[in-house]
Structure 1
Amino acid sequence: MSQKPASAINYRYLKLLILDSLIEKKSTLVKIVAALLLLAFAQGLFVLMTGPLFKSMLGAVQQTRLVLLDLAPKQLAPYLSFLEGISLPQDQVIHYLPLTILAVGILQALASYLYQFHQQALMLHVGSRYREKLFAAILNQPLERLLLKSAGEWMSLVMNDVSYLQSRLSDLLSGLVKDSVSVIAAVGTLYFIHWPTAVAITLLSIPLMFGTGRTGKKISHYAEGWQRNLAKMASILLEIRKRFEFIRAQKGEAAELAKFEELNRSYYKNIVGSIFIRSAFAPGLELLGFLVLALVVFLIGKGAMGEGLVEGDRILQVLLILGVIIRPLKSIGEQVSRLQETQGIIQRSLETFASVEEFIKVKEAPRLQRIEALKIDELSMRYGEGFRLKASGIEIRAGESVAIIGPSGGGKSTFLKCLAGLYSPETWEGSPSWSLVRDSSSLVSQKPFLFSGTIRENLNYGVSEIPDSRMQAALQMVSLNAELENKGQSLTTEIDFLQSPLSGGQMQRMTIARGFLRPHSILLMDEITSAIDPAAEEMITRTVVSKAREEGRILLYVTHRLSQLEIFDQVWFCESGRITVFKETKEWQKSDRVQRFLDSESHA
C-alpha cells in the first residue's frame, strides 16, 4: 500500500485529532479566549495608564489641578469625551493612578490564572481523546500495515508520544500563546501611541519569522529521528521477555547489546542536534529583539520616527512597550523550537492515518446476518512481495464443511484471513458481498491467543454477555471441562498472557470453544489441532465438523492430516496462491498436483 506524502496527511487529520477535541469543549474554549482577551486588555491598559502617571508627575510643579482628558493619549481622546471638563487635584491624581495601575495588574494576574487553569483542563481532554482516536485508528489498520511496526513501536506511539504531545501542547499554550498575546497587545497599543514605531517593529519582525521557520524545520527533523529510535528501543525492551530463553540459549546477549547500543547512540546524536539548535535559537531571538530596540532608539535619536515622540510621557511609554515586547522573546523562542519538536512527533502519529476516507467516514456496525451459502466466482488479492492469491468456482452451503490442504506457504492462511477481513481483496465477485462475509466470519488461528484475564473473560471476548452454561457446554464439547475441574480451575481462573497455566493443546481447545461461542455463520479454522495430542485430534476434528453441521454453519478447516479428509464434504487444494476445488472427497486423489504434494509429504 502506497504511503501518502507527509505534507498531504499533516493537516488533513489536524481537525480529526485536535480541532474536533477542542470543539468538544466549547465552553472551556470560550473561557480561554475570554481570558486571553482580558489579558490583552489588561496589558494594553497597563501601558496606557503609565502615560497619565508620567504626565501627572511631570506636570505637578506647574498645575494645581489636572484635567483628566489631558492625561489620556491623544489617539483615545475622541472616545473619552465624557471626561471633558473633569479635573482633579494633582495630589489625588498622583495617588490614584498608581492604585489604578495596581488594580490593572491584579486584573492581569486574574486573567493569567483563568487562562492557565482552563488551558490545562483543555489539554488533558485533548490528550485523552487523541490517544483514544489514535488507538481506534490502529485497530482499523489493514493487517499488512499493522505489521510494519513492532509492538514496542505502537506502544511508544500511543503512550510515550501522546503523553509528550499533551505536555508540549500545554507548555505551548502556557508560554507561546500567552506571551504572543502579550507581545501583540503591546504592539497594538503602540499603534495608538505612535504608529510609525509600531510599523517599523512590524516590518522588522518579518525576516525574524522567516528565520524561525527555517530553524524550526531542522528541529522537527531531529525530533522525528529521536522519536523513531526511542520507539525501536522500547520495542527491544518490550520483546526481550518473550525472547529471553532464545537469547540465552543461542548466546545472543552480545548481539542484542550491540543492537541496543547502536540505537541508543543514534538517539543520543539526534537529541544533541536538537538541543544544540534549540539552545541557540532562544538566546538568538532575544538578541535580535535587543538589536531591534537599539535600532528603534537610534532612529528616534535621528528624528526618523517623528517629532512628537520625544515628548516625555510618550517616549517613556514607547520604551516601556519595547521592554514588554523583548521580555518574552526568549520564552517565545524556546516554545517555537519545542513546537517544531511537537510537529515532528505529531507527524509520526499522523502517518498512522494513511486512509483518511476509511477512518473519517462512519463505519456500519458489523452485520450478523445468517448466510445460507457462500459463492465465490472470482477472488484475487496481493500480499507481501509478489505473492498473489486467486480462487474461483467456490460454492458451499450452510452446514457443509471444507478441508483445505496444501504445502506450507501456499496461501491457505492468507485465504482465511482475507475472508475474515484481515486482508482486503483486489477482486471479489460472488455472493454475498465481501463486507458481509467479513462481518459474518469468525477466525480461529493456528496460534492460540489468550490474553491476561479470567477464562470467562477470554471466552466472552468481543460479544455480548454469554451465560456460564453455554461456556461450560462449549468447554465440554472440546473435552476441556473435566480437565479444568481436575486442576481446580474454573471460569474465574486467571490466565497470564506470558505464563498461562494451560498447555498448548488446552489453549487450542479453548480457542476452538471460543470460536463456537461466536454468533457468526462462517467458521474459519486454521490448523487448530496442531498442538493437540494425536490420540484426541481426530475426535476433536469430528466434533468440530459435527457441531458446525448441527448449527448450520459454513466450516472452512485448514489441516495437514490427510487421513481425516473423508470427514469433510469438500476438499480444496491450495498451492502457490491458487485454490483448486474438489467437491467430491475422492476427486482430489486423482489430481497430479495433489499427488506431488502427497509424495513430498511422505518423503518429509
Structure 2
Amino acid sequence: MKELRYLNKYFAKYKYRFLFGIIITIVAQIFALYTPELVGKSISSIETFLKSGNKDTSLLKKELLENIALIFVFTLIAGLLTFFMRQALIVMSRYVEFDLKNEIFNHYQNLSQNFYKKNRTGDLMNRISEDVGKVRMYVGPAVMYTINTVIRFAAIIISMSAINVKLTIYSLLPLPILSYSIFILSKKINKKSTEYQQNLSTLSSFTQEFFSGIRIIKAYALENDRNNYFTKLSQISKKKNLSLAKTQALFGPLMVLLIGLSYLIVIYVGGQMYVKGEIKDIGIIAKFLLYIGMLVWPVASFGWVSSLVQEAEASQKRINEFLLEEPEIQNTGNIKTDIEGKITFKNVSYTYEDTNIQALKNINFTIEKGETIAIMGKTGSGKSTILSLLCRIHDVKEKSEIKIDNYNITSYDLFHLRNSMSIVPQDPFLFSDSIKNNIKFGKENATDEEIISAAKMAVVDSNIQSFHNKYDTILGERGITLSGGQKQRVSIARAIIKEAPILILDDCLSAVDTETEEKIINNFKTLFNKKTTIIVTHRASAAKNANKIIVLDSGEIVQQGTHNQLVTQEGFYKDLYLKQLSEKENA
C-alpha cells in the first residue's frame, strides 16, 4: 500500500471527521454486542426454567419481554450510530475526491508542453476520473469497513475469550486460511486491476481522438475501419474486466465457506464440551453462534475491501506517476511590476531535447516599447520558437538571455508574465461556448460594447451579426462551427480585448483573404502604436508596416531592417514581396 501513503495528508486534513467516525464505530459495536449477550441470557433463562419444573411462566415471560425490548433498543441505537459513521467517513471520502481532482487538475495546468506531447488526452482524463473514483472507494467504503471489521473483530474476540477461551480458539481456526487466501487473491487483483485501467486509458484516448477527428474520418470514409478497431479495443477491455471480476468473485464464496466452517466447529466442539460438562450453560453456544454470525458480513466484506484497496493502489500508482512529474518551467520569479514592453534577445540559442534539432542559433535583437517587429522565414526556420521562449513555454539554457524591461523573464512571476501578453496562435483554439464568451476569455469583465469593438477591429463583426443568435451563437468543439478565417479573427478579437502591453500574432492571418487582411492591418495601425507587437507571418503585406523586419533561415538571422531597406536588398524578403505583389496584380 506504499502508493496510497500519498493520501495520508488528506486523512490528516479531515482528522476530526475521521476520528469522529472511528469513535462512532467503536460505540456502535459496543451496542451491537449486547444482542448476543441478551439472546444467550434468554436461552439460559429458558433452560433454567425447564430444569426447575416450575409451571408459572409469568416471570420468564417478563424477563424475555425485557430482553426483547433491550435487543430492539440496542439494535436501533447501533443502527443509528452506523448511519452517523457512514455520514462521517463516506462524506469525508467525497471531500478527498474533490481535493484530489483539483490537485491533479492544477498540476496538469502547471506541467510543461513536453508533458502533453508525450501523453494522450484520453489517458489524462481517465486518471482524473476513473482512477480518482477508484481511490475514493478506498478512502470511503474500504477504510470505513476496515475500521468496522477490525473493531468488531476485536470486540467479539475479547467477548468470546471472556466466556470460553478454548471454544474461541476452535471457532477461529479458519482465520489463517482466510488470511492466506486474501493475500494471494489481493496480489492477483492488483495486477489485473492495473492492466484493466491501462487498457481503459487506451480506449478513452482512442475515443477522444475519434470524436476530435470525426471530420477527417468521414472525409476518408474510415468509419468501418475505426469501428473495427474500437471493437477490438472493447473486446480486450471486456476480457480484462471479466478476468478481474472472476478473481474478485472468488472472495465472497470463500468467505462464506470459512464462516460456515466456523459455525460447524462451534456447534460440534461446543456440543461436545456441553455434554462433557465443560460448558454448564447452553446459552453460551447460542452466544458463540451469534458472535460468528456477526462476523459474517465483516469477513465477507473483507474480500470486497481487499479488492477495493488493490484497485485503489493500482489507480493511485498511475495518479502518482503524473503528480510526481516536475514541471520543466518553474515559477521561481516574484517580480510583478507593470510591464511596459521593451524586449531584448541576447545570444539566444535553443535546441529541442526530444528531437535534438537546433531551432535557434545566437539570435540578437531588441524591440523598444511600442514598436512592431515582423519575423519571417521558411517553415522550420525558428519563428515560433522565438515566441515560445518569450512566453516561457520553453526556457533558454545558460549563456542565452531574454529580457523584458531590462529584467530577465525568469525573474517575473510566471502568471504575471504571461498575463502581460495577448497571443493569437497559429492554430486558433476556441471553446465550446458562445462567441461572446470566447472573446471575453481575453477580458472576463468586458462589456458588450468592448466585445463588439474588438470584433470590428478583427473584421469579424459582420460575420457574427449574420448568425441567427449573433454573439450568443454556441460554437462546436474547438470552434468547428466557424470557418478557418472566422476562427482566426475571433482569436484576434480575444487578444485585442485583453489590452496587454505585448501583442503576439503567430501567423494568425494565414486563413484570411488578402482584402480582409488589409482591413485588419489598417485597424491594427492605431493599436500597434500603443503595444509592443511581434508578428510572425509568411506575407510581406502583413510585415511591411513593421518598425523592423527580421528574416530567419535555419535558426539564424539572415536579414533585418525596414520594408524599404529590405526591398532594395537581394534576398528572401525581396523575392517574397515581388512574388506576392505579382500574384495580387494577377488576381
Q: TM-score range by the shorter chain?
A: 0.7 to 0.9
Map of 1:225 onto structure 2: 195
CA contact (8 A) 1:565 1:585 kept: no
Map of 2:338 onto structure 1: 369
1:433 aligned onto 2:418? no
Map of 1:142 onto structure 2: 112
Paired letter, 1:550: N
Map of 1:395 onto structure 2: 366
Instruction: Say which SS state the counterpart of residue 323 (structure 2) adopts.
Output: coil
Instruction: Say which SS state the counterpart of residue 534 (structure 2) adopts.
Output: strand
CA distance in 1, matches of 2:558, 2:421: 20
CA distance in 2, matches of 1:91, 1:212: 46
1:584 aligned onto 2:542? no
CA contact (8 A) 2:429 2:479 kept: no
Q: Given the superposition, is the C-alpha separation of residues 98 and 497 from structure 1 closer, same or farther in structure 2, using an over 3 Å criterion?
A: closer
- 1:44-59 matches, cutoff 5 A: 44-59=33-48
Paired letter, 1:549: F
1:325 aligned onto 2:295? yes
Q: Given the superposition, is the C-alpha separation of residues 108 and 488 from structure 1 closer, same or farther in structure 2, using an over 3 Å criterion?
A: closer
Map of 2:26 onto structure 1: 37
Paired letter, 2:324: A
Q: 1:393 Cα deviation (Å)? A: 3.1
CA contact (8 A) 1:282 1:329 kept: no
Q: Given the superposition, is the C-alpha separation of residues 235 and 282 from structure 1 closer, same or farther in structure 2, using an over 3 Å criterion?
A: same
- 1:189-338 matches, cutoff 5 A: 189-195=159-165, 205=175, 208-209=178-179, 211-291=181-261, 312-338=282-308
Q: 1:90 Cα deviation (Å)? A: 6.7
Q: Given the superposition, is the C-alpha separation of residues 243 and 487 from structure 1 closer, same or farther in structure 2, using an over 3 Å criterion?
A: closer
Q: Given the superposition, is the C-alpha separation of residues 508 and 44 from structure 1 closer, same or farther in structure 2, using an over 3 Å criterion?
A: same
CA distance in 1, matches of 2:83, 2:377: 70
1:556 aligned onto 2:556? no
Q: 1:163 Cα deviation (Å)? A: 5.1
Instruction: Say which SS state the counterpart of residue 218 (structure 1) adopts.
Output: helix
1:422 aligned onto 2:393? yes
Map of 1:83 onto structure 2: none
Map of 1:182 onto structure 2: 152
Q: 1:337 Cα deviation (Å)? A: 1.8
Q: 1:357 Cα deviation (Å)? A: 9.0
CA distance in 1, matches of 2:434, 2:337: 26
Q: 1:145 Cα deviation (Å)? A: 1.7
Map of 2:451 onto structure 1: 471
Deviation track 1:7-41 (CA, whole Å, cap 9, x = no partner) reads 98x3464246x537745xx45x4553343122211
Q: 1:251 Cα deviation (Å)? A: 3.0
Q: 1:526 Cα deviation (Å)? A: 1.1
Map of 1:96 onto structure 2: 66
Paired letter, 2:338: Q
Q: Given the superposition, is the C-alpha separation of residues 479 and 157 from structure 1 closer, same or farther in structure 2, using an over 3 Å criterion?
A: same
Q: Which consecutive unaligned segments of at least 5 residues does structure 2 have?
A: 581-587
CA distance in 1, matches of 2:332, 2:182: 42
CA distance in 1, matches of 2:174, 2:166: 12
Instruction: Say which SS state the counterpart of residue 557 (structure 2) adopts.
Output: strand
Q: Given the superposition, is the C-alpha separation of residues 19 and 40 from structure 1 closer, same or farther in structure 2, using an over 3 Å criterion?
A: same
CA contact (8 A) 2:343 2:367 kept: yes
CA distance in 1, matches of 2:553, 2:253: 67
CA distance in 2, matches of 1:283, 1:591: 87
CA contact (8 A) 1:153 1:231 kept: yes
CA contact (8 A) 1:454 1:494 kept: yes
Map of 2:476 onto structure 1: 496
CA contact (8 A) 1:382 1:425 kept: no
Instruction: Say which SS state the counterpart of residue 404 (structure 1) adopts.
Output: strand
CA distance in 2, matches of 1:297, 1:102: 26
Map of 1:4 onto structure 2: none
Deviation track 1:144-195 (CA, whole Å, cap 9, x = no partner) reads 2234444444444444554565567655467555445433432233343345
Paired letter, 1:44: L
Map of 1:461 onto structure 2: 441
Instruction: Say which SS state the counterpart of residue 525 (structure 1) adopts.
Output: strand
CA distance in 2, matches of 1:529, 1:106: 73
CA distance in 1, matches of 2:468, 2:285: 88
1:14 aligned onto 2:3? no
CA contact (8 A) 1:374 1:432 kept: no
CA distance in 2, matches of 1:101, 1:260: 57
Paired letter, 1:528: C
Instruction: Say which SS state the counterpart of residue 495 (structure 1) adopts.
Output: coil
For structure 1, which segment, 56-65 or 534-543, has the greater mean C-alpha deviation from structure 2 after superposition? Answer: 56-65
Map of 1:111 onto structure 2: 81
Q: 1:400 Cα deviation (Å)? A: 1.8
Paired letter, 2:85: Y
CA distance in 1, matches of 2:474, 2:220: 32
Q: Given the superposition, is the C-alpha separation of residues 199 and 521 from structure 1 closer, same or farther in structure 2, using an over 3 Å criterion?
A: farther
Paired letter, 2:342: A
CA contact (8 A) 2:255 2:299 kept: yes
CA contact (8 A) 1:368 1:519 kept: no
For structure 1, which segment, 89-98 or 182-191, has the greater mean C-alpha deviation from structure 2 after superposition? Answer: 89-98
Instruction: Say which SS state the counterpart of residue 386 (structure 1) adopts.
Output: coil
CA contact (8 A) 1:412 1:558 kept: yes
- 1:492-531 matches, cutoff 5 A: 492-497=472-477, 502-531=482-511
Q: Given the superposition, is the C-alpha separation of residues 481 and 325 from structure 1 closer, same or farther in structure 2, using an over 3 Å criterion?
A: closer
- State the superposition RMSD in angstroms: 4.4
Map of 2:584 onto structure 1: none
CA distance in 2, matches of 1:407, 1:118: 63
Map of 1:76 onto structure 2: none
CA distance in 2, matches of 1:220, 1:386: 39
Q: 1:481 Cα deviation (Å)? A: 3.0
Give the alignment's TM-score, normalised by structure 1: 0.77
Q: Given the superposition, is the C-alpha separation of residues 560 and 308 from structure 1 closer, same or farther in structure 2, using an over 3 Å criterion?
A: farther
Instruction: Say which SS state the counterpart of residue 33 (structure 2) adopts.
Output: helix
CA distance in 2, matches of 1:307, 1:358: 77
CA distance in 2, matches of 1:527, 1:32: 60
CA contact (8 A) 1:183 1:324 kept: no
Paired letter, 1:371: E
Deviation track 1:398-417 (CA, whole Å, cap 9, x = no partner) reads 21222222332344324323
Instruction: Say which SS state the counterpart of residue 352 (structure 1) adopts.
Output: helix
Paired letter, 2:45: S
Q: 1:119 Cα deviation (Å)? A: 4.3
Q: 1:465 Cα deviation (Å)? A: 0.2
2:383 to 412, 425, 428: 412
CA contact (8 A) 1:444 1:515 kept: yes
Q: Given the superposition, is the C-alpha separation of residues 550 and 192 from structure 1 closer, same or farther in structure 2, using an over 3 Å criterion?
A: farther
CA contact (8 A) 1:403 1:558 kept: yes
For structure 1, which segment, 533-542 or 175-184, has the greater mean C-alpha deviation from structure 2 after superposition? Answer: 175-184
Instruction: Say which SS state the counterpart of residue 465 (structure 1) adopts.
Output: coil
Q: 1:229 Cα deviation (Å)? A: 2.8
State the aligned residue count: 562
Identity %: 20
For structure 1, which segment, 454-463 or 566-575, has the greater mean C-alpha deviation from structure 2 after superposition? Answer: 566-575
Instruction: Say which SS state the counterpart of residue 133 (structure 1) adopts.
Output: helix
Deviation track 1:351-389 (CA, whole Å, cap 9, x = no partner) reads 332337999x99999947323422343464635333454
